Structure formats: structure tokens, C-alpha cells
Amino acid sequence: MAKSMRQTNTKNKHSPKKDSGSAAILGIAWYRREEWSHLLGIAADRDELEDTYEEWLRNAQTRLHEMAEAGINAMRVYINLDELQGWCIVQGRPLDGSARAVFTAEKLRQRHKGKKKEAEGIGRVEN
């Protein structure tokens, strides 16, 4: 079965290219073991995901390591599946790899924006 190559797809066996010194942060969707079967049940692209959490985790950790070695600043973004599913409904889009990537990037932007405000003394980030 052919797998599409997405930047956030942990099954991608290609090493990432070295970043040109950008201070950008790449958000990587991170899931909890107890929610993996739920993700498999709601994902529109179930066939693109690993069958087990252990397989996904091993691949995700490998990708994080490869990115770090390539100089890419990658950060885990823990995903609340209920929030993701609600977001997909509001956006009118299927819960697939593209939606997960956009949602992850948005969560990372929100986190970064909140931390920037906190550093400026304007607000506080709560997890």
C-alpha cells in the first residue's frame, strides 16, 4: 500500500533537509497511548497511520532525532483528540494528515503567542 509523503508523516523514511539557520519551530503532533485507538477510529486516513501506538512512537521519536541532527527545531505538540475533532467539524474538513498538521501548527502558534505575552508580562499560559 502506497503512503503519501507528508512532513508530519512518521512513516516517511527520508531524512529532512538541513534548515538554513531559521529560528522557526516545527510542531510535531504528539498523541497519548490511551488515545491511539480513538485516533484510529476517527481518522479519515486510517490507512496512513501506524497500526499500533508503539510503532507510531518509535517512528515519531526517530523523526524527532533526525530533525534535531539536521538542525531543525521540532517541538512535540500534545493533541487533544476531542478538540481536534471539533476543530475539523467547525472547519468543515476531514480529520486527515493535512488537518492534523494545520491543527498542530495552530496549537504551536497559540502556545508561542501565549509565551511571548507572558514574557512581556501581558498574560499567562495555562496547560
Residue with cell 475539523: 88
Q: What is the pLDDT of residue 123?
A: 42
Q: What is the pLDDT of residue 78?
A: 96
Identify whether the C-beta of residue 56 lies closer than 8 Å to the C-beta of residue 21.
no
* Rounded Cα–Cα distance for residues 55 and 64 (Å): 14
Q: What is the pLDDT of residue 64?
A: 95
pLDDT by residue for the chain (127 residues), tens only, comes to 333 334 345 554 444 444 444 468 899 999 999 999 999 999 999 999 999 999 999 999 999 999 999 999 999 999 999 999 999 999 999 999 999 999 999 999 998 886 655 555 444 444 3
Residue with cell 510503532: 55
Q: What is the pLDDT of residue 13?
A: 42
